[in-house]
């Protein structure tokens, strides 16, 4: 199995390599791919140094799978070139997510939709992945009508420049700014760019992507996305209105029985999900599960996950694992 990791030197690319190694992905040949300024540099995988190559050389090598984490513009230009060469692309950018001809996949939910003809597969937004991991089993049981979600997103979701800004502010060092304002001791209700409707692009991803993943547009989602001064891990406050009523213990049981979801919900012992506990883990953690006493058939919960792992790298690697397991590549 010849595998290319495109964007191998970036934050997600580094986690991608870590996850591939941890899960012992069956690689016979590994191609580490990055922009021209990184070509020729060395990067280690499982203790072996690999020389970084450029995109054109990677296409010419015809890998079986190319896992992209190199930004939307790069994906739009190069994913079709890989696909034309016979490579199956798993893309982590927003470039293909809402393309009606491309599948948007969270393996635990809809990997079964994939076929050998799917040459460009979209990895959802990090905040979307952890949200749908909790919503999907509950929607199957109780049928969602409306979801209101507020996110508390770490600076790692923006990238290395934002992480550096936070570290500089903590250290009292002046440096390059990833955000229009300080992020330390602050909260920015501003993730991605603002759109004409007053929402940010991140908020609209949260509104639209779950409908595509669940193949259901009968429910609606309203989102507010906020950047907070945590280094890693995204959190979400979620209110769900169902068509049918529920029992709290049954909700906890359903979530507990969902692969990839861990319930942490015991107020008596101050047990609830936090980014510090989700760090470097692949599960989605759910807690603060409680009835909304103001609205029939409604529930509140708190969802946390490591945005660089299940929110990006791990989900992409799981898609690749499915392709290999089902002999679709």
User: Binding site for substrate: which residues?
Assistant: 153, 227
Distance CA 57, CA 36 (A): 11
Enter the tokens of residue 81.
């070139």
What is the Cα 304 distance to its own chain's centre? 12
Backbone angles phi, psi at 27, to 5 degrees: -105, 125
Residue 198: alpha-carbon gap to chain centroid:
24
Residues of the binding site for phosphate: 97
Apex 275 CA angle, 274 and 278, nearest 5: 95
Tell me which DSSP letter residue 313 carries: I
Whether 126 is catalytic: yes
- As a residue count, the chain comes to 329
Q: Cα separation of 153 and 225, whole Å?
A: 7
Strands 42-45 and 103-104: unpaired
Our answer to whether residue 190 is catalytic in this structure is no
Is residue 17 within 8 A of residue 5, CB to CB? The reply is yes
Is 40:50 a contact under the CB 8 Å cutoff? Answer: no
Catalytic residue among 139, 190, 191, 234: 234
Binding residues, as ranges, are: 9-12, 37-38, 97, 153, 156-157, 227, 307
Which of the residues are catalytic?
126, 234
């Amino acid at each position: 199995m010849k595998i290319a990791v495109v964007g191998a030197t970036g934050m997600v690319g580094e986690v991608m390599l870590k996850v591939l190694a941890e899960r012992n992905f069956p690689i016979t040949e590994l191609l580490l791919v990055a922009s021209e300024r990184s070509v020729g540099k060395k990067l280690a995988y499982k203790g072996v140094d690999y020389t970084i190559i450029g995109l054109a050389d990677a296409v010419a090598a015809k890998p079986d799978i190319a896992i992209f984490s190199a930004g939307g513009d790069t994906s739009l230009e190069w994913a079709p070139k890989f696909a034309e060469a016979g490579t199956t692309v798993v893309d982590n950018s927003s470039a293909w997510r809402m393309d009606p001809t491309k599948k948007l996949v969270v393996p635990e939910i809809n990997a079964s939709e994939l076929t050998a003809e799917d040459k460009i597969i979209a990895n959802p937004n990090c905040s979307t992945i952890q949200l749908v991991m909790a919503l999907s089993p509950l929607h199957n049981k109780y049928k969602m009508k409306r979801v209101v979600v507020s996110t508390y997103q770490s600076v790692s979701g923006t990238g290395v420049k934002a992480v550096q800004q936070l570290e500089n502010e903590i250290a009292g060092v002046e440096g390059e700014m990833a955000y229009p304002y300080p992020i330390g001791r602050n909260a920015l209700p501003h993730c991605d760019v603002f759109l004409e409707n007053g929402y940010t692009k991140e908020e609209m991803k949260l509104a639209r992507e779950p409908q595509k993943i669940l193949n259901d547009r009968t429910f609606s989602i309203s989102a507010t996305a906020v950047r907070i001064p945590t280094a890693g891990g995204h959190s979400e406050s979620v209110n769900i209105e169902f068509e049918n009523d529920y029992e709290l213990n049954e909700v906890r049981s359903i979530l507990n029985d969902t692969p990839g979801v861990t319930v942490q919900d015991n107020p008596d012992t101050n047990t609830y999900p936090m980014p510090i506990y989700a760090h470097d883990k692949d599960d989605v953690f759910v807690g603060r599960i409680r009835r909304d006493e103001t609205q029939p058939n409604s529930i509140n919960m708190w969802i946390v996950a490591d945005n660089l792992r299940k929110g990006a790298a791990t989900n992409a690697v799981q898609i690749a694992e499915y392709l290999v397991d089902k002999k679709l590549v």
